[in-house]
């Protein structure tokens, strides 16, 4: 498995609120509670494995 890198490919964007957050910096650090909170904010399929989010 390759080490996570900050490429800006994992982002949380809400156009209505002007929100645009780069989530790549958290790769490898996600806990279950954070993952569950993130899944409630999107309609995309998201997985977490060893702290790494995959969309």
Residue 1: half-sphere exposure toward Cβ, Cα within 13 Å = 9
Distances in whole angstroms, Cα of residue 23 to Cα of each of 18, 36, 44: 16, 15, 15
- Asked if residue 3 is part of any domain, the answer here is no
Domain span at 25: 11-54
Q: Does 44 reside within a domain?
A: yes
Q: Does residue 37 register a pLDDT over 80?
A: yes
The mean predicted confidence, pLDDT, of the chain is 79
- What local confidence, expressed as pLDDT, does residue 23 receive? 80
In a domain, 1, yes or no: no
The answer to the question of residue 24 being in a domain is yes
pTM of the full structure: 0.60
> What's the domain count of the chain?
1
In tens, the pLDDT along 5-25 reads 445 577 777 788 787 878 888
Q: Is residue 2 part of a domain?
A: no
């Amino acid at each position: 498995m390759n080490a996570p890198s900050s490429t800006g490919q994992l982002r949380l964007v809400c156009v209505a609120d002007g929100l645009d957050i780069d989530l790549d910096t958290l790769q490898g650090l996600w806990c279950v509670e954070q993952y569950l909170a993130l899944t409630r904010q999107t309609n995309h399929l998201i997985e977490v494995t060893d702290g790494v989010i995959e969309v």
